[in-house]
Amino acid sequence: MNLLQLLKQCVESNKLFSKEHHLLVACSGGVDSVVLVHLLNSLGYRITILHCNFRLRGDESTRDEIFVQQLSSSLNLDCKIKHFDT
């Protein structure tokens, strides 16, 4: 069983959500959240990507934000970005 099948089975057997739901998926730009976005999108769920930029790592934080925007664009998904001054 691959990761996509495992996620599908977990969601369905635990009745976590259905295709009628609109999922808000937090995405940092790291591998875990990016894989989750790809898997949920591959399963046909309606997704909006959410990204918080806390500006804690200077240019690296900006690069993460740009990457998440490019990811959402490449998958034709809505993306909401929130900036924080921390």
Q: What is the pLDDT of residue 24?
A: 99
pLDDT tens digits, one per residue of 27-77 = 999 999 999 999 999 999 999 999 999 999 999 999 999 999 999 999 999
Check: CB of residue 84 under 8 Å from CB of residue 52: yes
pLDDT at 86: 85
- 47 - beta bridge partners? 23
By residue count, the chain amounts to 86
Residue 43, CA distances (Å) to 3, 4, 9, 47 in order? 11, 8, 11, 11
